[in-house]
Amino acid sequence: VKAERVEVKVIPCTVLSMAFFDKLFEGEIARESGEIKKCFDEFMNEFTISDNLRQMLLNEDSDVYCEFSEREREEFLFRVFSHLCLGGRLCQFEDNVNPYLEVTKAVYKDLISVQKNPETKELSILSHVFQVHCYIVENNGAADSAMRVCVADRKVGSNPQRMS
């Protein structure tokens, strides 16, 4: 299969600490214990939103969406977290945010390489993350976007939850 067109986007990967997610506990998303605050059910695309965590991840019109800026949402760490929290159509979600944070940390550490500067003793990220879309022309002449590289989300149609 030959790609008609390929688009590559650099995904920021600068976060070195899970303190990035401290704001989950400071606002209306989760209690100090990690319990995710509930809300009335809403349906968005193929997702049922029944708590403030999913409101923050999916609903741009919600009061909690702005807890993370657009720049923070572009970070690879946030994308991994979002992917794990949302799962898919048959996802059995957690009522506590801590398991999501633990798995996000483990996955992120497995995917990202860091290095300690011998002089300053500071950590820096060596990895580069890209979002790659390959546009393939099907037999009927319609172009379809398919992500062929594994690190980032793929937005085909309205589903932000496809990772190849």
Q: What angle do CA 13, 29, 93 make, to 5 degrees?
A: 80
pLDDT (mean) for 29-35: 97
Q: CA–CA separation, 7 vs 124, rounded Å? A: 27
**Residue tagged 């980032």 (tokens):** 152
Per-residue pLDDT tens for 135-157? 887 765 555 555 433 443 333 33
Alpha helices in 28-161 (DSSP H): 52-58, 70-74, 76-86, 98-111
Q: How far apart are CA 64 and CA 66, in angstroms?
A: 5
Largest CA distance in the chain: 59
- Nearest in space to 21 (alpha carbons), one of 104, 83, 88: 104
- Return the pLDDT at 144: 59
Find, among 46, 37, 102, 41, the residue nearest to 64 by Cα.
Answer: 37
- Which is it for the CA torsion 109, 112, 113, 119, positive or negative? negative
Q: What is the model's pLDDT at position 36? A: 97
Q: What is the mean pLDDT of the chain?
A: 85
The answer to whether the beta carbons of residues 81 and 75 sit under 8 Å apart is no
What is the C-alpha to C-alpha distance for residues 96 and 116, in angstroms, rounded to an integer?
33
pLDDT attached to residue 150: 40
Amino acid 139: pLDDT: 63
21 pLDDT more than 90? yes
pTM (predicted TM-score): 0.82
